A and B are shown apart, each in its own frame.
Chain A
C-alpha cells in the first residue's frame, strides 16, 4: 500500500525557473493538502483541496498554484521560483470524517 507518493524527492532550481511537484494518494481520500516546512516554523499550509474540483488558499499561498487533477492527484506549481521558496514540501491527505493526515515523503527544494 503506497499511501501518499510525492515526486521528485529532491530538486534544485535557479531563480525564475518553474516546476511542478506531483502528489498522488491511493487511499480514496477526499481532502489533499500541500505544506511547506522551514526550520523553527513548523508545517505551514500552502493550499488545500477539500474534494475533487475544489481548491482553497492556505496560510502561505503566494507564489504557488495548485491543480486537483482528479481524486487521486494534487499538484503544486511554482511559476517563478524564488530563494524564499527553498523549503521541504509535504503533500498530505485525509478522509473527510477522519482528520488523521497521511503524508508523502517530502520534496527538498533548493532555489539558488
Chain B
C-alpha cells in the first residue's frame, strides 16, 4: 500500500464549479500535511499547509481528518488557471524533515 494515495483523475470541471480532492495516508504518526500544486512540466510549489482545525485561503479550503487519516482540498469557483496537478504531501514523524508525496490529482477546468 502506498503511504499517500490520491485519485489520479483527471477531474474535468467547468469554470465556476466546486471540486474536491481527497487523499489518504497510511502512517498514523504523520505530523504535517500539505497540498502542493504542479503545473505541466514545472516544479511543485506549495499551495497550502493543512491544519487540524481546517484552513482556508481564498477559494481554497483544506481539511484534515486524523481519525480517518485523510486530507481534503476544496476549490470553489474554479478558474481556468486552476488547471494543474495537485499533490498531497505528508511528513511522517519518524522521517524528520522528509516529505512523502502522493502521485497527484489532475484537474482540468474548461470554459
Contact = CB atoms under 8 A, between A and B. Distances in A.
B97 A99 contact: yes
A111 interface: no
A27 interface: no
A74 interface: no
Interface stretch (A37-45, A65-73, A78-86): A37-45
Contact of B44 (A44, A45, A58, A103): A103
Contacts, number: 48
B17 interface: no
B72 interface: no
Interface residues of chain A: helix, strand, loop or mixed (majority): strand
Given A50-B96, A101-B46, A103-B44, A42 B34 contact: no
B32 A99 contact: yes
Interface of B: 4, 8, 32, 34, 36, 41-46, 49, 87, 91, 96-104
Interface of A: 31, 33, 35, 40-45, 48, 50, 58, 90, 94, 96, 99-101, 103-106
